[in-house]
Structure 1
Amino acid sequence: MADPTPVIDDLRAESEELDRLVARLTPKRWALATPAPDWTLAHQIAHLAWTDRAALAAVTDADGFRALVEKALAQGDSFVDEGAEQDAGLPPAELLARWRSGRDALDAALRAAEPGARFPWFGPPMAVASMATARLMETWAHGLDIADALGVTRAPTGRLAHIVRLGVRTRDFAYTVHGLTPPAEEFRVRLTAPSGAVWGYGPDDAPQRVTGPALDFCLLVTQRAHRDDLALTAVGPDADRWLDIAQAFAGPPGSGRKARLPEEPTDGTTDPAAGTGQ
């Protein structure tokens, strides 16, 4: 059984990096719009705080978490937005304090969990390492939304390895949630890490393959960028289909992000396709 400590440590590091990005912002900047429709920077942190509390309930309070699931089923698609909305209006200092205390409590609970324990979630039950990985994935993804709103570029780190692994493991889930039958055979996934190392998953001789930068794969499976804007290559029809539907998060199919528009010409000419619907 793999030791979950490394991913719990990386979750803490990812959260602390994001904390440093927002800790000294003025109240006005907390109201900045982010790429998520109708979500401000405050909504992003409020969502992370809410989901950390949900994860803590899953680990420590089965009855409390069951009540959350029942509420989610009753509210439908509005559940996630309402979870973010309930804390987004708090003063920034109070919202920060709530996020920090919740993630500290979750960190302690994950470290204290029994080896082999599995916890309920909105998707399949999760082991300790899987729960920490899911929280890291969400913290990274929502941190990207915040960085975009602030005009900041965050350097990718080796922590992306956890998100890559989750993205690979959720391949069949992505097919199923779209009403499709998962392929019977494994794919070969070969990605270049931020360090330049190569991360590989699946049989070396698999005929269907996905290759490219690990960062781009993480952007794809968290639906933070459109496939057309990423340097990922698929070989084989099933692998190609996967890149259209991949998602590493629980819940219904995400709407994803639209492809970036081509840049305006800078030499004074007019784009011949402009206004033609092409």
Structure 2
Amino acid sequence: MITELLADLDAESRDLDELVAGAPDWTLATPAEGWTIGHQIGHLMWTDKAAILAIADPEAFRAQPLTADLVDRTAAEAAALPDLLELWRASRSALHEHLAGAHGKIVWFGPPMSPASMATARLMETWAHGQDVADALGVVREPTARIRHVCHIGVRTMGFAFLLNGLAVPEAEVRVELTGPGGESWTWGPEGAENRVSGPALDFSWLVTQRRNRKELAVEAVGPVAEAWVPIAQAFAGPPGGGR
């Protein structure tokens, strides 16, 4: 499983690499307030390195000072590096090797994760920040079957989203039924669940990465738990985002 996940992560990264390598101006603003294309790639590079540290030296990872400006500050510092593209390529390659040989849970900013979950999270982030870059460049990306990983982590983090918003984790399960880019059906949760979420997988991916406004998306929620979850859904670690 980890081999397939890493192959998909590599493919997602290469698609974004091709997009930014051809961008003449990395100072172009993206939809994320205060972030340029350089900030987006810098953040991915920094997070790769953080994941490598978490795998190689968990104690050193835990000892890092977590300041309120950590994400913005490190993205800005990385964006100023003249060789950022090559550094990102190197960090991607190194993380691939570390994840391929990792065992057990990996400490992280959110809950600890298995190597497979970490690979899925890195793919989700690459896809999400790639969306910001594509939006900045006016590029419409064709969705691939790789967004199933984004949907999966979006479903798996439902309870986490409730906790981040100061809410109790619901006991009721939610059935999620999504339509993939090729018309395929992707489902999670018990078939007879009272609470249900459905719609195009691309829209659900935008929802859980908070890359589009909820009102723009064809994501339907039925049942009190589903209706409470959809507005706060997030697939990423850290405090609740402000959305678009």
1:6 maps to 4
1:38 maps to 34
Matches within 5 A, 1:220-235: 220-235=207-222
1:55 match: secondary structure: helix
1:129 maps to 116
2:129 maps to 142
Shift of 1:62: 1.6
1:252 maps to 239
Determine what percentage of the aligned residue pairs are the same residue.
56
Matches within 5 A, 1:68-217: 68=64, 71-72=65-66, 75-76=67-68, 78-91=69-82, 94-114=83-103, 117-217=104-204
The code of the aligned residue for 1:81 comes to D
1:120 match: secondary structure: coil
What's the CA shift string for 1:249-277, capped at 9, x where partnerless?
A: 111111111xxxxxxxxxxxxxxxxxxxx
Please identify, of 186-195 and 58-67, the stretch whose mean Cα deviation from structure 2 is larger: 58-67
Shift of 1:67: 2.5
Check if 1:64 corresponds to 2:60.
yes
Shift of 1:189: 0.4
2:49 maps to 53
The code of the aligned residue for 2:16 comes to L
Q: TM-score, normalised by structure 1?
A: 0.86
2:199 match: secondary structure: strand
Shift of 1:111: 0.8
1:271 maps to none
Aligned-partner Cα distance in 2 for 1:119–1:136: 16
Count of paired positions? 244
Q: Which has the larger radius of gyration?
A: 1
Aligned-partner Cα distance in 2 for 1:81–1:67: 19
Q: TM-score, normalised by structure 2?
A: 0.98
CA contact (8 A) 2:172 2:225 kept: no
1:188 match: secondary structure: strand
1:30 match: secondary structure: coil
Shift of 1:238: 1.5
Shift of 1:63: 2.7
Query: Which 4+ stretches in 1 moved above 2 angstroms?
Result: none
Unaligned runs of 5+ in 2: none
